[in-house]
Amino acid sequence: MLDMIKAMTEPKTNPKIKVQKFISPPKKGDVVEGTVIGFGPFAVYVDLGPYGTGVIFGKEYYQAKSIIQNLKIGDKISAQVVEIDAYDDYIDDGYIELSLKEAHEKEGWDKLKELKENFETVTIKPNAANKGGLLAELYGIRGFLPLSQLSIQHYPRVENGDTQEILRHLQQLIGKELKVKIISAEPNENKLIFSEKAVESKILKELLKNYKKGDIVEGTITGLADFGAFIRFPLDRVAKKSEEAPDFMEGLIHISELDWQLIHHPSEIVKVGDKVKAKIVDIAPDGRVSLSLKALKPDPWKKIGDKIKNGQVVKGKVIKINPSGAIIEIMPKIRGLVYVADFGSEMKLREVLKEGNEYTFVVANFNPKEHKLVLKLKQ
Q: Characterize 56-81 residue by residue with b for buried, 16 or more Cβ atoms within 10 angstroms of its Cβ, and e for exposed.
A: bbeebbebbeebbeebeeeeebbbbb
Confidence check: pLDDT of 46 > 70: yes
What is the helix (H) or strand (E) element at residue 350, kind and residue range?
Answer: helix 346-352
> How confident is the model over 16-28, as a mean pLDDT?
56
Residue 124 lies in a domain: yes
169 with 188, same domain: the answer is yes
* Total domains, the chain: 4
Residue 220 lies in a domain: yes
| Dihedral in degrees, nearest 10, Cα atoms 104, 107, 113, 119 | -90
Q: Give pLDDT, residue 87.
A: 46
Q: Give the pLDDT confidence of 240-261 residue by residue, as tens digits.
A: 555 556 677 888 999 999 999 8
Position 219 confidence tier, pLDDT thresholds 50, 70, 90: very high
Task: Among 100, 128, 162, give the residue marking a domain's end.
Answer: 100
Quick one: what percent of the chain has pLDDT higher than 70? Answer: 87
Please tell me the pTM assigned to this model. 0.57
Q: Give pLDDT, residue 23.
A: 56
Please tell me the distance from the alpha carbon of residue 192 to that of residue 117, in angstroms, as a whole number: 13
Confidence check: pLDDT of 348 > 80: yes
| Complete edge-to-edge strand list for the sheet that includes strand 128-130 | 121-124, 178-186, 191-195, 141-146, 133-138, 128-130
116: three-class secondary structure by DSSP: helix
Contact assessment for residue 63 and residue 82, using Cβ atoms and an 8 Å cutoff: no
371: three-class secondary structure by DSSP: coil
Among 51, 36, 47, 44, which residue's Cα sits nearest to residue 10?
44
Give the CATH number of the domain where residue 263 resides.
2.40.50.140
Task: Among 176, 195, 214, give the residue marking a domain's end.
Answer: 195
Q: What is the largest CA-CA distance in the chain?
A: 102
96 with 6, same domain: the answer is yes
257 with 291, same domain: the answer is yes
Residue 113 lies in a domain: no
Residue 105 lies in a domain: no
Picking from 89-93, 129-133, 144-148, which range would have the lowest pLDDT averaged per residue?
89-93
Q: Give pLDDT, residue 242.
A: 55
Q: Give the pLDDT confidence of 85-112 residue by residue, as tens digits.
A: 544 444 446 688 888 777 777 888 888 9
Q: Give pLDDT, residue 279.
A: 96
Residues in the chain: 379
126 with 177, same domain: the answer is yes
Q: Give the pLDDT confidence of 114-124 residue by residue, as tens digits.
A: 988 888 889 99
Task: Among 195, 227, 258, give the residue marking a domain's end.
Answer: 195
Residue 108 lies in a domain: no
Please tell me the distance from the alpha carbon of residue 72 to that of residue 57, in angstroms, as a whole number: 16
Residue 225 sits in which domain range?
204-296
